[in-house]
A and B are shown apart, each in its own frame.
Chain A
Amino acid sequence: MRCERCGKELTNRIIKINGVTYCDNCARLMGYDRFLREPSDLMGNPFAPLDQIASSLMQMSELDFGNSTLTCPKCGMTLREFENEGRVGCIECYNTFNENIIREMFKQQGNSEYAGRLPAQSADTDAETKEIPQIKKTAKPGIETVKMDPSANKATGKEETKAASVKEEEKGGLTIEQLAKADLGMLSDDDLEKGIKIAAEAEEYKLASRLRDELKGRKDGGNNG
Chain B
Amino acid sequence: MLQGSEMNLKAERTVAIMAEWYTNEGKDNDVVLSTKACIVRNIKGYNFMPRLDDKECQSLLETVDNAVDKSIYNGGNAADFDNETILRLTRLQILGREASQLVEPERKAFYYNDDASLSITVGCGEHLTVKAMKQGHDIGVYKTAEKEALNLESKLDIAFSENYGFLTSNVRLAGTGLKILYTVSLPAISKTEGGIAALTQRVSQYEWTIYPFADRGEIADSDVYIIASVNTLGVTEDELLKRGEMLITDVIKAERACREEIATSKKEQSADIYGRSYGTLRYAGMISRSEALQALGWIRLYHDYDDSGEIKLSWNTLDKITMDILWEPGAPSRKSSQSAASQKYRANGIRNILKGDE
Contact = CB atoms under 8 A, between A and B. Distances in A.
Contacts of B327: none
A145 B253 contact: yes
Interface of B: 27-28, 30, 42, 44, 47-48, 50-51, 137-140, 142-144, 146, 150, 153-154, 158-167, 169-172, 174-176, 178, 189, 192, 194-195, 197-202, 204-207, 209, 230-239, 241, 243, 245, 249-250, 252-254, 256-258, 260-261, 304
B50 A89 contact: yes
A104 B169 CA distance: 13
A182 interface: no
Given A1-B204, A125-B237, A135-B249, A116 B254 contact: no
A25 to B, nearest CB: 18
Contacts of B254: 146, 148
7 closest residue pairs by CB, A with B: A111-B234, A89-B51, A128-B143, A114-B165, A116-B176, A123-B237, A125-B238
Contacts of A113: 163, 233-234
B234 A109 contact: yes
A125 B235 CA distance: 13
A177 interface: no
A86 B233 contact: no
A90 B51 contact: yes
Interface string A97-137: 00001001100111111111111111111111000101101
Contacts of A110: 207, 234
- The A interface is mostly helix, strand or loop, or mixed, namely loop
30 contacts: A1-B209, A75-B48, A75-B51, A87-B48, A88-B171, A89-B51, A90-B47, A94-B164, A104-B171, A105-B233, A111-B233, A113-B233, A114-B162, A114-B163, A115-B236, A116-B176, A122-B150, A123-B238, A124-B236, A135-B252, A139-B257, A144-B253, A145-B260, A148-B194, A148-B258, A149-B198, A153-B201, A155-B205, A159-B205, A161-B205
Contacts of B200: 1
Nearest to A14: B200
A148 B204 contact: no
Nearest to A117: B237
B54 to A, nearest CB: 15
Given A144-B257, A146-B253, A87 B234 contact: no
* Chain B CB within 10 A, most for which of A119, A122, A128, A159: A119
Contact of B234 (A115, A120, A155): A115
Contacts of B44: 91
Contacts of A137: 30, 256, 304
B234 to A, nearest CB: 3
Interface of A: 1, 9-10, 74-77, 85-91, 94, 101, 104-105, 108-128, 132, 134-135, 137, 139, 141, 144-146, 148-150, 152-153, 155, 158-159, 161
A70 to B, nearest CB: 15
A127 B175 contact: no
A109 B232 contact: yes
Given A108-B172, A116-B237, A132-B137, A94 B161 contact: yes
A116 B189 contact: no
B190 to A, nearest CB: 11
B231 A111 contact: yes
Contacts of B202: 153
* Chain B CB within 10 A, most for which of A76, A87, A124: A87
B230 A109 contact: yes
* Chain B CB within 10 A, most for which of A90, A113, A122: A90
Given A88-B169, A101-B164, A109-B234, 15 more contacts: A88-B171, A89-B47, A94-B164, A110-B234, A111-B235, A114-B164, A115-B234, A115-B235, A125-B241, A132-B27, A132-B138, A135-B249, A146-B250, A150-B197, A155-B205
Contacts of A115: 175, 233-236, 239
Contacts of A149: 194, 198
